[in-house]
Every structure is written in structure tokens, then in C-alpha cells.
A and B are shown apart, each in its own frame.
Chain A
Amino acid sequence: MTEKKNDANANVENEYMLEVRNLKKHFNVSNSVLKKNRKILTAVDGIDFYIKKGETFGLVGESGCGKSTTGRTIIKLYQPTDGQIIFEGRDITNLPAKQMLPFRKRMQMIFQDPYASLNGRMTVTDIIGEGIDTHRLYTGKQRQERIYDLLHTVGLKSEHANRYPHEFSGGQRQRIGIARALAVEPDFIICDEPISALDVSIQAQVVNMLDDLQDDMGLTYLFIAHDLSMVKHISDRIGVMYIGKLMEVCGSDELYDNPLHPYTQALLSAIPIPDPKLTRSQKRIILEGDVRSPINPTEGCRFSSRCRYCKEICENVTPEIEEARPEHFIACHRYKEINGLV
């Protein structure tokens, strides 16, 4: 996958908003200082993908698979252990904080928990205005106008500006979080489970709003979630993660129509469909076996311990991600046999 893109390096600037090459983020979780006892949690362990301008890239996976760490590393809340983050053709992996500042204006993040991600001692004006001040975008009356504008954009009212977060419901708080992200006029927004803490009827409101904002402002999203049906709904392309590795990356329709990876197949079959007749006729793949530990992982496919197609090679050799079809990438030794593609 990396090779292919190196060839196409010439037009990377135009086509890709973000490119991630062999990104790794490891955490030291040892409680001993001795090197031999070192425990390394490989939260993200060498992933490659790109996000085109104006598209929504969905990142799905189960808890602990490293999808949130990926988001936080891209925006450099964590310094990556290895690999490259290329934003509009510029390598931002090792930029010092000062040079990172203009990029921070262009990349923003929306967080999962609308209760914990807003400072309870700041008014809505302060919360939204903070970014405006940091990047010196507007001052005085213009700043206030801008804040009112943003509030209207996310479906809140001007009179909400002087209130505190605790006066709002979960859905409204998430709107404030979105207004805060939009305040610095970003091009790229990382949405880290923005709707999973909200009620069903409110989720649809927020998803539609994200959709509209994308159309109006030409935003690019990295949408991180564990709810596959919502990810499928919002994304153009999807990456499926499993314990720090990408298993499959392709267009969202392709993923649902032609999943090639055994993990994706199991994941898709496990989604409960809100339609009793369909769900009764659905053939469910129940995974067995234990999840492999991300701490000091050994060679081999991360999914091998739960995979029903696991062979010796799967346990001993880590599969490389390869392009099975145009724009359809997969990391599996046996995908051809499994899917009858030989």
C-alpha cells in the first residue's frame, strides 16, 4: 500500500487531506525499570491509510483496538512512536509545537463524552472563543458576532452564549463541542465517537448536522466509532481495526457488500438489525476464543486466536496489508481461499 502511494507522490498534495504511513503508538506499561521486564502496549502498531479531501473516513473496531489512539496521535495529542503523518503533503510528525500551531487550526477534534470534554467553569462564549483567541482570528464585536453565528450554525440560540455547560442536555453539549471545533475554521475534523453517548433520537440530529456542515463547508472527517451501522451511514470509506492493526480498508458499500476479511465478516454479521424478519434470517458468525493481548505481541495475525480459518502461517507471520481489488486493502494470508478468489 505504501509503495503504491510513493509512486503517486506527485499529486498527493491535491488529492489527499491526510496520509498516515506505518503509524505506531506504543505505551510503556511496565511497573519495573528493568529492560527485560518491559511491557509495551502496542495500541497502534503500524497502520497505513489516506483520507481524500472532502470525504468521510470511518474507523471502526471494538474497544481497545486503538481507534481513538489513532485519532489522538494524528492530531498529535500523542507523539507517535514511529511512522509518518502527512497533512496536505507536509510531514507534521516531528514538528515542534510552534510550527504545529497553524496545523492545529486546520485540524480539530470532537470528543465522545459531552460531559467531560467541556470545562464546567467556562461559559459557552469562553469555550467557543478560546480557539478564536489562540489563533487571533477575531476580536471585540466581531468575535462576539462570530460566536453567535457558530451557535446558530449548530442549532443553538444567541441567548445560550452566557450559560454554563451544566445547563445543557447531552445533545446540546455535543453541539457546543462541534461549535468549538468549527470556531477556528478547520478543514479536517476528527470525530471520536461523537454520538455514542447520546440517545437514539438525538444521534440522528447530530449525524444530520455533521452531514450538512460537510456539504456547506467542504469539511473532511475522520469518524471514529464502534457502531457499524452509523459508520456505514456516514462514511465514504471505512477502515476496520483490530488490536492496533488495520484489517481491511475500502469503500463503505464495498465493505458491506463484499467483506473479504474474516474479522469484518464476523463483525458485520454481529450487528443486530432493527428488523425482526431480517435478523431471524441472518446467519450469524459467533466468534470464539480469546482476544490476543496487545502487550508485547508476538508475530502473527492479531485475529488468529479467534479466526475460524486460522492456519499455521496465521499464527506465525504477520500479514501485510495488500490491495485485493482497486481501493480495497486487506491484511489476511488466506482471503483468496476463504472468499473463493483463486
Chain B
Amino acid sequence: MTAHAAPKPPRSWWRRLGFALVNVWLVVHLAAIVIAPASVSPSSPLIRSAWDQVHPYLQTLYLNHGYNFFAPQPGESTLVGWEVTRDDGSTESGRFPDRSMFPRLLYHRHFMLTESLGFVPPPLKLKWHESYAQHLCHTHDGQQVRLERITHLLPSMQMVRAGVPLDAPDSYVIEPMGTYQCRD
């Protein structure tokens, strides 16, 4: 990587100590950034116990990731359909994420909100849905909101060759997420 000479070891004792500490930190850090993705299930009890040790460090630095991009494999996407009912009985409905959203990064943020529904810890699931519902209540000035989870299934190559479009009505599976009363 470089043509320069490696530095000579420091002479004063406190510099030597600092240099040693940097090296110890490097070893710990390198181990930690490998343990993080290695501890993603399925993982061995040894790795999981190592993860318990390095977890606070990684969590503080936001390095606690599995890096499982499109893994174990790309899957269907999740959308959320909503219908807000106002005091006067009028309704407004929609679906997010909205592909017309700009910039694209903002669309991705909303897309991740729906995709993450599958990863929310079970004890928080209802609160999570409620939080989305209250946000829609607030932005649409509603009295109550009904949510539904929409799973958009992927067509196979054979289906596309047979003329099935990506947005075929049959490819959307709808499950109710509940009706929520708006708080304010």
C-alpha cells in the first residue's frame, strides 16, 4: 500500500503504553467486527457468548450488523394500506411507500418502514402498528384509521414469460392490521 518506512517504536514509556493500547484496541475491534455478523443466527454458543461480550461496544458505535444484504435471499415486499375516517364521515385512503415519492432516498425510508414490520420484536408489534396509525391520524386529521398489511408476491420467470405483469392483482395478499382510534 505504501512506500514509506514503518515508524520506529516509540521511545518514551508513556508513548509505548499508548502504542500498546492502540494495538490492543485494534485486536479487540477487529474481533468485534467479525463476531457481529458471525453471531447472526444460526451461530454457535461460542460465538454467541463472544457476542455478549462485544455487544455493548458494537452497539455504542453502531457496528452491530450482519451485513445480510438481500440474504438469505430476496423476497416479496411489504406495503401498508390505510384508510382514514374523519369526524364528518369522509374517508381518505392510500398505500405506502408511494413510488412517486421524491427524492428516492425518502421513498426508501418509507419502504423500510413497511419492510421492517416483519422484524419488529413481538412485544412491540401492536405499539408499532399503533404508532404508524397515529402518524396517519395526525397527518390526515382523522378520527380513526384502518391499516392493512399488503404482501406483494414475486412472479417467477415462467409467469412473466406467460404475460403476468409484476403488479398483477393476484400478487397482492392483504391482511388486516386493525382499526385504531385517533388520540388527538
B is a partner of A: no
- A residues contacting B by CB (< 8 A) are none
